[in-house]
Amino acid sequence: MKKRNRNIFEIKRGILKCKKRLDALKNQGFIFSQDIYDNLDSLEKKIIGSSLIRQIWNKKLPLFAGIICIMSIIIAIALILSENGEMELTIKNLPGGTIIEEDYCIRGSANHSNGAIVSVLVKIDNGNWDHAEYCIETLEWEYWIYIDDLSEETHNLSFRCWDGEKYSDIKKIKIQKPRIVKPVVAIHTPLDGNETLYGIVIINGTATAENGEIQRVEIRFNEGQWINVNFTGKTTWQYTWDTTHIENEFYNISARSYDNKSPSEIFKIRVTVNNGDGPDTIVELPSFYDGGYFQFYIDSIDNEKMIPGETYELQGFHSRKLEPKLFWQLFTIKTILEVDRKPAWLNVSLPNQPLVTPPDGELYTFSISISITNNASRNAKAPLTFTATYGIALVMDYQFFARSRKEIPLEIFVSTGEW
């Protein structure tokens, strides 16, 4: 092989000498055909090509061929990168695992090594991609996370940018919204439902918070302005409501409380205000049988403040009026009175016998004894509800006629004082 290479080298030297001799003769005025030069060039190429191929085939130039191959790959990659450029997206102020407790603005930057970024996009969990606010001049972007849009769990945030043709690689981080325990508020008095109020009303309630202390409690009537109420302890509150200057109608009373972080759900009750003729009015029930009617009433001691150890009397009234017909004089009204609802600190003693109302139009009275226990709340006001069941009976018989039984719901208020 060495001898062969030597021969090839000598042939190349001979071809070169021949070209120089021809050039010298040409300078002396001799004329030669171009074919001679072409044939010499063709011979030289054949000899060089044959030699290089044989050396590569016989593994004489493996290192040189490998270097050429690697250089070609590097040049190709560099050409691709120089044509497409690189996109880079960074997140500046939101490390993974961040706990989100309020609205939060995420900030970052996005740039392109060979052009401009068109937009930056953000996705929460498996939702849709949303556009962040991006400034082409500063290459800065920002995106707001709203706490109310997140459930109380861990969320995956995905980020990418777009240059108008393709997207960058996606960056992901995790954030967490902690479980929020809202404070709780309640209205204890007055009670929700058919309660009728008049005069000065004390509204009492409680408010508790698991995440801290209650900062304030507010109430409002119907859709009016929210009003701050006074605390009577760490969890109890009250508000004095003067109903004498408002319309007699239904009112919705709403309450809400605030702790260090969040508001409570709204607690709402419905009451009736009636400052008409006052507690002395006797309520007439619908008439029954031949135009007769029956009246039953219990007077309230709402204006008197009760104290432990004292007994108080509620005064009741009942009467029945009828046209003077002998037939109806054989019948009377029997009434059984029961306590339907009362506060735990109130003792009630009802009449021992059923109340009998003759059909003579006279006004009959009865008494109910009440007292409060030593553990009663001070300056409290609560309803006392009765059910009066009445019906027609013979004068000498206290049994109801089944078809004549009726019920009267009665409600009064009792108040405690300071001791």
| Tens digit of each residue's pLDDT (9 = 90 or more) over 344-393 | 899 999 988 888 887 777 777 888 889 999 888 888 888 888 888 887 76
Q: Give the model confidence (pLDDT) of 176-186 as tens digits.
A: 888 777 888 99
* pLDDT for residue 274: 85
Identify the pLDDT of residue 280. Answer: 44
pLDDT above 80 for 24: no
From CA 44, how far away is CA 108, in angstroms rounded?
64
Pick the CATH number of 184-273 from 1.20.1250.20, 2.60.40.650, 1.10.520.10, 2.40.128.260: 2.60.40.650
Mean pLDDT value across residues 147-174: 89
Tell me, what's the pLDDT at 140? Answer: 92
Q: Calculate the average pLDDT of the chain.
A: 77
pLDDT at 339: 92
Q: What pLDDT is recorded for position 278?
A: 44
State the first-to-last Cα distance of the chain, in angstroms, to the nearest integer. 128
Banded model confidence at residue 116, pLDDT cuts 50, 70, 90: confident
Domain 87-176, what fold?
Immunoglobulin-like (2.60.40)
Comparing 163 with 114, the larger pLDDT belongs to: 163
The architecture of the domain spanning 293-416 is: Sandwich (2.60)
pLDDT of residue 129: 93
Q: What's the mean pLDDT in 94-113?
A: 86
pLDDT of residue 107: 93
The b-or-e profile of 312-342 (16+ CB within 10 A means b, else e) is eebebebbbebeeeeebeebbbbbbbeeeeb
Mean pLDDT of 7-34: 66
Helix (H) or strand (E) holding 38: helix 34-57
* CA–CA gap between residue 207 and residue 85 (Å, rounded): 62
Residues of the chain with CATH 2.60.40.650: 184-273
Highest mean pLDDT among 34-48, 58-72, 310-324: 310-324
Neighbours of 109 (CB within 10 A): 18
pLDDT per residue over 47-65, tens digit each? 655 554 455 445 554 555 5
Question: What distances in angstroms separate CA 95 from CA 98, 99, 104, one per listed residue?
Answer: 6, 10, 13
- Which of 5-19, 228-242, 246-260 is predicted with the least confidence, judged by mean pLDDT? 5-19
Mean predicted confidence (pLDDT) in 210-237: 84
Report the alpha-carbon distance of residue 307 to residue 311 in Å, rounded: 9
CA dist 297 and 163 (Å) reads 84
Q: Please tell me the pTM assigned to this model.
A: 0.34
Vertex 195 angle, CA 278 and 404, to 5°: 90
Mean pLDDT to the nearest integer, 15-19: 70
* CB-based burial label for 392 (10 Å; 0-12, 13-18, 19+): buried
| Confidence at residue 324, expressed as pLDDT on a 0 to 100 scale | 55
140-145/133-135 β-pairing: antiparallel
**In 146-249, at which residue ranges do the beta strands (DSSP E only) sit?**
154-162, 171-176, 184-189, 196-197, 200-208, 216-221, 227-228, 230-231, 236-242
Give 252's pLDDT tier (boundaries 50, 70, 90): very high
Among the ranges given (30-34, 86-90, 165-169, 276-280), the one the predictor scored with the smallest mean pLDDT:
276-280
Of 3-17, 101-115, 168-182, the one with minimum mean pLDDT is: 3-17
Query: What is the SS3 assignment for 180?
Result: coil
What pLDDT, on a 0 to 100 scale, did the predictor assign at position 141?
Answer: 92
Cβ of 65: how many Cβ atoms within 10 Å? 12
- Residue 76 pLDDT exceeds 60: no
The one-letter amino acid code at 272 reads T
- Residue-level pLDDT at 131: 92
Domain with CATH 2.60.40.10 in the chain: 87-176, 293-416
Percent of the chain with pLDDT over 70: 69
Checking if the pLDDT of 121 tops 90, the result is yes
DSSP secondary structure of 49-88 = HHHHHHHHHTTSSHHHHHHHHHHHHHHHHHHHHHHH--EE
Q: What is the pLDDT of residue 56?
A: 46
